[in-house]
Structure 1
């Protein structure tokens, strides 16, 4: 974040028995994959334009310019997040592109591939009934789908949940001030839900995320992003081969059911989304 920020689905390489059919897996769009090479190892992120299209386009654009290559992890808090993406490496800088409008909440229409995991009653945090689930690999909480039928635009408000591995857009106190900085969630941090834009999630390398040197600010020497590339820009012969369990399939439904409590509720941060990286 620029001056204030103050959490990832753990992606398992081991698929459950129910996931052993090809139809349970999908190959992500290489335009929506960032390959982040750090001095501690590789992190692979799947961006989700259905949740935050402007932010995804921004990070893709800057990656293609080489903007992120060599930038440091300057603010890293154990159990919370790793912040980077600032050319000043101190939380005050950004790119020469205009700041972005917040994409929390985003408007979820029927065309958005939302996979419901559970319905939640109103509570102290959200004073209305909601649904929790996934849009791709991003955990999401949303107003009920029925609300689409009565809204002017045929959509319902929804927002990303800051589970471990989720990617967040760093900003100042102004909600519309995100620019180039972002953060990797080391663990769940529900107080960010609905307050920051979530735009993707780590699908490989969460172990690297939690291995980044901590500090607020981080003392030198700092860990760095050696390069950040869009998968589509890497020569085909050199690309990692990626498959992710399709959250719309029966194998993933089995994972949701396994995580369901006696009251029918599901904590999306407790559900692992398997990925295969070759």
Structure 2
């Protein structure tokens, strides 16, 4: 197991600074940097972090069983069985997706396990621990942990008169989904990552199961092609909880409910104006050895 260097994702682009005595980092806009308290960081559950050692570097994904419990269960199972180790990124499209996870290294491959029913959306309790960023007559958006999500509008939730609401993953850069064929119930082992672009049209057609918290530049650096001439590989895939305790890093995200992240939202909203969307934001993350 390689040692991890401390990484903070999204800090430069969001104009954040540590409160631990470091000089504030200069933001890319006229806004003052946001100083982050140590208490604003949340440690992710190691049982719900997937660590992918690729031929281009390390990727860490926060898995969201509250959105896609069966998909997350399957991915953990395949990782623990070693099925993913050595598999190629067999379809990598610039500004779209990077696909992997098929045992035959091409579209249509499956594991020995049965296909999964679609989990295109989930019912979250009305008191779910999420942060709303936008609302409109069509849909709301926000974050569930680091995961960008869309939900039905407030009016629609009230109309249904229930104590929960419908939510689904917003396919922003770094979001991970389950691949499938034309049959909506054909997801099995294939996974894909959004690669430098957004695609809201995928939201209710493909199961979103997680979000890349560390290593999005690695995903963008994967060799493109359908298939690539020299494909990159997932050399080893593990659940963070399975890494020996003395080697296991701590993965943290900035609490989306913190004042610091609310300041980031305000800055980005002012910068983007009418074009602002949930995919303009990234929840910063870091690895602590």
TM-score, normalised by the number of residues in structure 1: 0.87
Q: Does 1:43 align with 2:59?
A: yes
| Higher RCO (Cα < 8 Å, 6 or more apart) | 1
Q: Distance in 2 between matches of 1:23 and 1:165?
A: 25
Pick from 9, 19, 26: which aligns with 1:11? 9
**Contact between 2:48 and 2:64, CA under 8 Å: does it hold in 1?**
yes
- Displacement after TM superposition at 1:145 (Å): 4.2
Q: Distance in 1 between matches of 2:87 and 2:141?
A: 35
Q: Does 1:112 align with 2:128?
A: yes
**Contact between 2:126 and 2:165, CA under 8 Å: does it hold in 1?**
no
The residue that corresponds to 1:274 in the other structure is 284
Q: Does 1:176 align with 2:176?
A: no
Pick from 258, 266, 269: which aligns with 1:260? 269
**Contact between 1:50 and 1:112, CA under 8 Å: does it hold in 2?**
no
Q: Distance in 2 between matches of 1:130 and 1:92?
A: 33
Tell me, which stretches of 5 or more residues in structure 1 are unaligned? 1-9, 122-128
1:96-121 Cα deviation digits (max 9, x unpaired)? 21211111122122242221001123
1:233-266 Cα deviation digits (max 9, x unpaired)? 0012212232110112211111111122587774
The residue that corresponds to 2:87 in the other structure is 71
- Displacement after TM superposition at 1:67 (Å): 1.0
Q: Distance in 1 between matches of 2:206 and 2:262?
A: 28
Q: Distance in 1 between matches of 2:265 and 2:36?
A: 17
The residue that corresponds to 1:205 in the other structure is 215
**Contact between 1:259 and 1:270, CA under 8 Å: does it hold in 2?**
yes
- RMSD (CA atoms): 2.0
The residue that corresponds to 2:148 in the other structure is 139
Q: Distance in 2 between matches of 1:191 and 1:147?
A: 20
Match of 2:283, SS state, is: coil
Q: Does 1:59 align with 2:53?
A: no
- Displacement after TM superposition at 1:153 (Å): 5.2
- Displacement after TM superposition at 1:11 (Å): 3.5
**Contact between 2:34 and 2:264, CA under 8 Å: does it hold in 1?**
no
**Contact between 2:92 and 2:224, CA under 8 Å: does it hold in 1?**
yes
1:169-207 Cα deviation digits (max 9, x unpaired)? 101112221111000111212221222111111111111
Q: Does 1:162 align with 2:162?
A: no
**Contact between 1:99 and 1:179, CA under 8 Å: does it hold in 2?**
yes
Q: Does 1:226 align with 2:224?
A: no
Q: Distance in 1 between matches of 2:171 and 2:262?
A: 21
Pick from 198, 222, 229: which aligns with 1:188? 198
TM-score, normalised by the number of residues in structure 2: 0.84
**Contact between 2:108 and 2:181, CA under 8 Å: does it hold in 1?**
no
Match of 1:238, SS state, is: coil
Q: Does 1:216 align with 2:226?
A: yes
- Displacement after TM superposition at 1:149 (Å): 4.9
